[in-house]
Amino acid sequence: MKPPPSSSPPSSATFLRKARLSPHLFALLAFILFITILYGEDLGCTLSSQFDFDQSRLHLDQTITSSTKKKLGEKLAFAVGESDEDCDIFQGRWVRDESRPLYEESECPYIQPQLTCQEHGRPDLSYRHWRWQPYGCSLPRFNSTLMLESLRGKRMMFVGDSLNRGQYVSMVCLLHRIIPENAKSMKTSGSLTVFTATDYNATIEFYWAPFLLESNSDDAVIHRISDRIVRKGSINKHGKHWKGADIVVFNTYLWWMTGLDFKILQGSFEDEEKDIVEVSTEEAYGMAMKSMLRWVKKNMDPKKTRVFFTSMSPSHQKSIDWGGLPNENCYNETSMIDDPTYWGSDCRKSIMNVISQVFSRSKVPITFLNITQLSSYRKDAHTSIYKKQWSPLTPQQIANPASYADCVHWCLPGIQDTWNELLFSKLFYP
Ligand SMILES: *[C@@H]1O[C@H](CO)[C@@H](O)[C@H](O)[C@H]1NC(C)=O
Ligand SMILES: *[C@@H]1O[C@H](CO)[C@@H](O)[C@H](O)[C@H]1NC(C)=O
Ligand SMILES: *[C@@H]1O[C@H](CO)[C@@H](O)[C@H](O)[C@H]1NC(C)=O
Ligand SMILES: *[C@@H]1O[C@H](CO)[C@@H](O)[C@H](O)[C@H]1NC(C)=O
């Protein structure tokens, strides 16, 4: 695989501006943001037209993995075998599999009530009976024993937002069955949730950092801030809690999607006069990617550890994207999108392009879990209205269920188990 060619950085077209907002403008912006959040993440994508998709960047994952292999001259940490280098496991199709799901919702006490769809009355079960089948090869079977044995005396850490939390919980559900009741526990304190397998001296952890960098949305419970601000160069604020992990799985995406330019704080959150610069979403996101790579380079030993980055989890907020009616969304969807070229209408492409650009110019070994396309078919797999609500529903909402359907998060068991099967594959058979 040839390395992708370089091209100009996303910053070239950026419009910088110091913002000291008047209270009126501030209120207006806050209102626009509030509406943006209400009506989905994808009202607009700043500069998206300038980030047209670059086909030459296909198969970045293979590029990263094989260059890593070459550099180390031998096998990666945790590897037990090799995969077919020519097979891109993220290209494939969903096939019906009655032996799924891999576990039952009721068997896994760790699933948060925002994801337990059966408990909250979801009537259909079909969404749980699909397996991901790559075109060129087959995925290895998820082996809980192998995974847990490999984590003996080690720390596995998921860092990111609520979608990464979902993948984290899926991983715990996939593993916990083979651990006796009195030899496991899960505890949350602030931003950190730790699942411990006592006999293995192993932990699987989740750290809440929706932007990876320090932000005004970092409170693990109260983080619904409409006017989001991220502090430049601040990755160590959270990163100091990730040190010593043997496997790290990062994600970040949804929180950047405000539909407006993004506010980057130059100084500190304590400064009285905040020095804020507004940049495009793509530039802000690229900055976070670069910070993440720098953190990995400085803190992770490529001979002993593995680092993953999970790509954007797609939402299904607008039925018109897949040929449905206006004003509808994933609510009442029980089948998947069968157009293999379906991608959706939001900023995924331009963000994917930023990721390609930043990663391809770096030698830091990160394995990219490219779950965006395979998940974008699955409009049937969201929690929709079958979840614990944050606040009681109003009569208007009850009359119009689509108005409060969650088309961002995913039911468990479900599609995020597949993300972990892909992670399993890349970890043990890179
Ligand atoms: C991820 O997969 C999609 C679709 O399969 C592809 O178009 C895109 O280039 C991939 N991204 C990277 C960074 O490899
Ligand atoms: C799972 O992994 C364990 C430990 O490596 C191994 O002994 C076992 O045979 C594997 N099971 C399957 C079904 O492959
Ligand atoms: C348990 O694992 C930690 C790393 O997570 C390690 O530092 C410690 O030495 C281990 N303890 C034992 C008793 O193996
Ligand atoms: C859900 O979709 C089915 C068709 O798939 C339709 O018959 C039914 O009326 C819809 N229910 C609601 C509440 O929209």
Coil vs helix vs strand at 424: helix
**Quick one: which H or E segment has residue 216?**
none
DSSP string, 243-289: TT-SEEEE---GGG--SS-EEEESS-TT-SS--EEEE-HHHHHHHHH
Cα 35–Cα 324–Cα 37 angle in degrees, nearest 5? 15
Tell me which DSSP letter residue 106 carries: G
Is 336:379 a contact under the CB 8 Å cutoff?
yes
Residue 6 lies in a domain: no
pTM value is: 0.86
Query: Rounded distance, CA 159 to CA 253, Å?
Result: 12
Q: What is the residue range of 415's domain?
A: 15-428
From first to last of the 430 residues of the chain, give the pLDDT tens digit: 333 333 333 333 333 333 344 444 444 444 433 333 333 333 345 433 333 333 333 334 444 444 444 444 568 999 999 888 899 999 999 999 999 999 999 999 999 999 999 999 999 999 999 999 999 999 999 999 999 999 999 999 999 999 999 999 999 999 999 999 999 999 999 999 999 999 999 999 999 999 999 999 999 888 878 889 999 999 999 999 999 999 999 999 999 998 889 999 999 999 999 999 999 999 999 999 999 999 999 999 999 999 999 999 999 999 999 999 999 999 999 999 999 999 887 778 999 999 999 999 999 999 999 999 999 999 999 999 999 998 899 999 999 999 999 999 999 999 999 999 999 999 999 9
Query: Rounded distance, CA 367 to CA 350, Å?
Result: 20
Is 251:309 a contact under the CB 8 Å cutoff?
yes
Residue 348, ligand 1, Cβ within 6 A: no
Cβ-count burial 362-401 (b if 16+ within 10 Å, e if not): bebbbbbbbbbbbbbbbbbbbbbbbbeeeeeeeeeeeeee
Residue 8 lies in a domain: no
Is 284:212 a contact under the CB 8 Å cutoff?
no
Instruction: Find the CATH number of the domain harbouring 44.
Output: 3.40.50.1110
Could you tell me the distance, in angstroms and rounded to a whole number, from the CA of residue 134 to the centre of ligand 2?
A: 22
Question: What residue ranges line ligand 2, CB within 6 angstroms?
Answer: 143, 145-146, 149
Residue 10 lies in a domain: no
**Radius of gyration in angstroms for the set of CA atoms belonging to the chain, rounded to a whole number:** 21
Residue 421 lies in a domain: yes
The set of catalytic residues is 162, 406, 409
Residue 3 lies in a domain: no
Cα 344 → chain centroid: 17
Could you tell me the distance, in angstroms and rounded to a whole number, from the CA of residue 334 to the centre of ligand 4?
A: 10
Domain count, the chain: 1
